[in-house]
A = this chain, B = another copy of it.
Amino acid sequence: MFKPYFRDGGGPPPLSVVVERAARLEETDLLGIVWHGRYAGYLEDGREAFGRRYGLSYLEFRAAGAVLPIRILHLEYLAPLKYLEAFAVEATLHYNEAARLDMEYKIVNQKGETVTRGYSVQMMVGLDGVPLLEAPPLYLNFQKRWREGLL
């Protein structure tokens, strides 16, 4: 139904994590709905849950010598979220051989409707600020298990 953001050419199927939340009062604006800029935090909630689930959190990457700055953030708003409305954030990692993370997101309301879609691209960068040509062993091991269907 939706045009995919990333192509999965030959890699293993994507991995997803879902986290549940509800819209907080401070996230709304004068229109009575969640302000569009707050969704960056919702996607981050999904991305961080993914990192915790698969041992790829910010702190684990940093211990492995890499940080993961966001290079691209893309959001499509299909319907608003209201104050107190419950929703699920699904963060899905797509396989990529490069030293980057291609993540796709879907925010789904309680009726099962996708109210927001988006993606982010993060590049792996060394602690000295130099982009990495190859992912650290932490991630290469994760990818190996992914390819072997062990995740």
- Residues of A in contact with B (beta carbons under 8 Å apart): 24-26, 28-33, 35-38, 40-41, 44-45, 48, 57-59, 67, 69-77, 80, 83-84
B contact residues around A83 at 8 Å (CB): 30, 58-59
Query: Quick check: A59 and B36 within 8 Å, CB to CB?
Result: no
Q: Per DSSP, are chain A's interface residues mostly helix, strand or loop, or mixed?
A: mixed
Query: Quick check: B24 and A41 within 8 Å, CB to CB?
Result: yes
| Extra contacts besides A24-B41, A71-B76 (4): CB < 8 Å | A25-B48, A28-B30, A57-B84, A59-B83
Query: Quick check: A45 and B24 within 8 Å, CB to CB?
Result: yes
Name the one of B30, B45, B75 contacting A72, with C-beta atoms under 8 angstroms. Answer: B75
Distance A121 CA – B44 CA, assembled complex (angstroms): 22
Name the one of B26, B45, B75, B80 contacting A29, with C-beta atoms under 8 angstroms. Answer: B26
Asked, given contacts A40-B37, A72-B75, whether A29 binds B28 with beta carbons under 8 Å apart, the answer is yes
